[in-house]
Chain A
Amino acid sequence: MSDARSAAVAFLRAAWTPAALVAALLAVVVVASALGAEGGQVAITEMLIRVVVVIGIYVFAGNSGILSFGHIGFMCIGAYAAGWAACDPEWKGLMLTGLPAFLAEHRYPMPVAVLGSAALGGVAATLFGMAITRLSGIAASIATFAFLVIVNSVYANWDTVTAGTSSMVGIPAVVGPWTSLLFAAIAIVVAYLFQISGYGLMLRASRDDAVAAASSGVDIRRLRLIAFGVSGAIVGAAGGVYAHFLGILTTDTFYLDLTFITIAMLIIGGIGSLTGAVVGVLFITLVIEVLRALEAGVTIGGAAIALPHGAQEVGLGVLMALVLIFRPQGIMGGQEVPSPFPPAGSGRLRAGRIPESENGKFVEPVR
């Protein structure tokens, strides 16, 4: 009896964070569906896909402390992989003459296509990760930018495979709020399992104090590579889902603007915790929607007010700078959802706060 009970409590304790996050997203979908706002379904779906993207970035950046500006490249890779799998074979035969036969002649259902996206994203991330995990934190961040440029340049110009200069059309747009919620839930569970695994804990240790972790036998380079691969796979899958949401792909979608928005979401929510990643997406989506409405114009007390075009982006940038100045750890400050099941003695499930020094390289020791 007491064994069963303590096992149940242990499970609840372990499952609390992902369960709470999924429940919160579920609530958002239910409320939005009930309100039935025009265009709401589209906005909610896009938001949930961004949850997957930001969680994917978080798995690497949050756990290792190295900011990555290149993950939208993996999203691009994943999206085009899904496009190759899911486009109409007739169109592929006409436009994408460079595709191998198994892609050119067949059409795969969405789950298979998204699995392909995750696989290709993961492989690309592992290969590129082998190069960048050799660099110091800050140089690695810049190298991820190089990766983004490479992906963009290749996909924009490789006409026989990506229809680069035109766009890839005819992907079945089957993803709505509920499908994307499912993928967001999967991403939350995967990211959480990674974070509480031995790999995740050792990587977090290296983030907080690289020298101490290395001298305790943590192989930092290998752990960073593993995290990079996992996060590339998650972001790749998000790209595949996004392709099935948009139905049409151009490389411009996957460049600096999306990079900025997703990084802003992660940093404003709090880069140090999974909850921070999810909260950041919810909060910034709300901010963007409000600013978008203001750009379209509102009437307050008889006076019509409309912000100029571009004010949305300026507002988002200012907000991000303010958060960095006044609350550098983000909204969640590195904490997960407060749990009603406090860990008894074991600190295993608590994600630690990031200290001021996030990655050892250029930070002077505090004396």
Chain B
Amino acid sequence: MITFLQNVLDALSLGSLYALTALGIGLIFGVLKLINFAHGDFITFGAYALIIPSSADVAQVLVGGWSWELLIPTVCIAVIAIALASDYLVFRPLRGASPPTLMAASFALSYVIQNAIMVIYGARPKSVNLWPVLGDQTHVGPLTIPNLNLVTIAVTLALMVGMTIVLRRTSVGIQMRAAAEDFRMARYLGVRADLVIGLAFVISGALAAVAALLLVAQTGSLTQTMGQPIALFAFIATVVGGMGSLAGAVVGGFVIGAIVIMFQAYLPPDLRAFRDAFAFAFVILVLVAKPSGLLRAKGLVERV
């Protein structure tokens, strides 16, 4: 029972990371119908923003050494800047292009960011010790919980609540939801496209920055491909949850996190190496049973 609870906490923590990422991907998809493959590289960029650009083997921490009140906004601003720059340089010229074209463009963008980071920082992994206090553990009764898991879950919940309030209560949030539902109709009714799209990239970038910090705190190392696996799982999460549904992206993220952790815990030991294969195969089975995902989004079925 205790191990099961422990696993549930692990699943919640991993699911939080996937949910944050899937939400960032889902927001952009909702507004632009763009599957942003570069989201994982936004995360990587956020992590690299902690150190001084150089190809030396030992990382010199700059932003990473600041106090958290200063560090978090700085990394957020850095990632938001690259997200907005990506939109301006790549996606804005492609407004109105078909979803497969947009997807291919974001694939190219991802490749460019990843390799540009390699050109600037060198190919070797670097180690960064961010917030060592999070490595400690808290004991609650018989449970041993890494502080990082608690922080991850708490931060995710806070961001979800915050986003729900923004999306439901503020004017700009309601405009975003309207745009996600039917972009053309929303524009007819006076929603400013640039504002909504820009805001989607800002929020998506901020979510990527938070994911980056949680990831660095967890792994303590930087590589050019560090964001990729998370983004891959998050893509699958958006499909499982139901493409175009923001709640679906979050639910999908937690579902994938739970699947991965439970496979890790309960598969026979010699099959554990195949955990990811089982997780993804399971996801494909879910999709065969429910092709439009767990939460079906409105307004995505083409009407003739």
Q: Which residues on A are within 8 Å of B, measured CB to CB? A: 65-67, 69, 128, 130-132, 134-139, 141-143, 145-147, 149-150, 153-154, 157-158, 211, 256, 260, 263-264, 267, 308-311, 313-314, 316-318, 320-321, 324-325, 328, 356-365
Contacts and interface: CB of A to CB of B under 8 A. Distances in A.
Given A211-B304, A321-B112, A325-B93, A139 B291 contact: yes
A359 B277 contact: no
A321 B109 contact: yes
B131 interface: no
5 contacts: A131-B285, A142-B239, A310-B118, A358-B99, A360-B302
A138 B35 contact: yes
A136 B291 contact: yes
B100 A66 contact: yes
A67 B109 contact: no
Contact of B274 (A154, A264, A267, A313): A154
B104 A267 contact: yes
B108 interface: yes
B123 interface: yes
Contact of A141 (B35, B94, B238): B35
B226 interface: no
B112 A67 contact: no
Given A359-B100, A360-B302, A146 B105 contact: no
A309 B119 CA distance: 6
Contact of B100 (A141, A149, A313, A365): A141
A69 B106 CA distance: 13
Nearest to A357: B98
B118 to A, nearest CB: 4
Given A67-B103, A324-B104, A360-B302, A149 B119 contact: no
Contacts of A360: 302
Contact of B116 (A128, A157, A260, A310): A310
Given A134-B287, A137-B99, A361-B99, A317 B277 contact: no
A221 to B, nearest CB: 11
B103 A135 contact: no
B300 interface: yes
B174 interface: no
Contacts, number: 159
Contacts of B236: 142, 145-146
A143 B284 contact: yes
Contacts of A256: 228
A92 to B, nearest CB: 21
A360 B119 CA distance: 39
B115 A314 contact: yes
A132 B284 CA distance: 8
B112 A139 contact: no
A306 to B, nearest CB: 12
Most chain B CB within 10 A, of A65, A132, A142, A360, is at A142
Interface in B251-293: 273-277, 280-281, 283-285, 287-288, 291-293
Contacts of A363: 98-99, 302
Given A325-B93, A361-B99, A149 B288 contact: no
The SS class assigned to the A binding surface is: helix
B206 to A, nearest CB: 24
B291 A358 contact: no
B271 to A, nearest CB: 9
Contact of A316 (B35, B111, B288): B111
Nearest to B106: A321
B243 interface: yes
Nearest to A354: B98
A142 B288 CA distance: 14
Given A138-B99, A314-B115, A264 B288 contact: no
Nearest to B304: A211
Given A308-B119, A314-B112, A321 B100 contact: no
B298 interface: no
Query: Which are the 10 A-B pairs with shortest beta-carbon distances?
Result: A317-B112, A313-B115, A157-B273, A317-B111, A320-B108, A153-B277, A310-B119, A310-B118, A146-B280, A153-B276
A327 to B, nearest CB: 11
Contact of A135 (B98, B287, B302): B287
B283 A146 contact: yes
B100 A324 contact: no
Contact of B280 (A137, A149, A260, A318): A149
B288 A131 contact: yes
Contacts of B94: 324-325, 328
B61 interface: no
B247 to A, nearest CB: 17
A135 B89 CA distance: 31
Contacts of B111: 260, 313, 316-317, 320
Interface in B92-137: 93-94, 96-101, 103-105, 107-109, 111-112, 114-116, 118-119, 123
